[in-house]
């Protein structure tokens, strides 16, 4: 089985996967990377009005083979500006 490495970035911290994990193929590694994004967001939100979460999949040669991002962006509108309560 090929080994893939999934690195993560949450806007504050970048974690490089130095151990990797064996997956059947790149498609399975891709699914594992995508599945990690909601958990990353759950840990950091709500914290500000903009944050980008990113996962990068590298192969055994350390070549980047897949990248996925999840972006949160919030804007106050009208009476809700700056978080004011009615």
For the chain, what percent of residues have pLDDT higher than 90?
70
pTM score of the predicted model: 0.83
Res 83 pLDDT > 70: no
Q: Which residues contact 16 (CB under 8 A, 6 or more apart)?
A: 5, 7
Find, among 47, 53, 49, the residue nearest to 71 by Cα: 53
* Distance from C-alpha of 86 to C-alpha of 68, rounded to nearest angstrom: 38
- What's the confidence (pLDDT) of residue 85? 53
> Which pLDDT score is estimated for 45?
81
Given a cut of 70, whether residue 86 has pLDDT beyond it is no
Q: Which of 12-16, 26-30, 36-40, 76-80 shows the lowest per-residue confidence on average (mean pLDDT)?
A: 76-80
pLDDT for 79 beyond 80: no
Query: Would you say 33 and 68 are in contact if contact means Cβ atoms under 8 Å apart?
Result: yes
């Amino acid at each position: 089985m090929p080994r893939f490495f999934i690195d993560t970035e949450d806007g504050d911290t970048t974690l490089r996967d130095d151990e990797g994990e064996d997956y059947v193929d790149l498609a399975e590694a891709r699914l594992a990377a995508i599945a990690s994004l909601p958990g990353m967001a759950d840990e950091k939100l709500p914290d500000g009005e903009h944050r980008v979460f990113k996962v990068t999949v590298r192969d055994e040669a350390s070549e980047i083979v897949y990248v996925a991002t999840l972006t949160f962006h919030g804007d106050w509108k009208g009476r809700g500006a700056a978080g004011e309560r009615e």
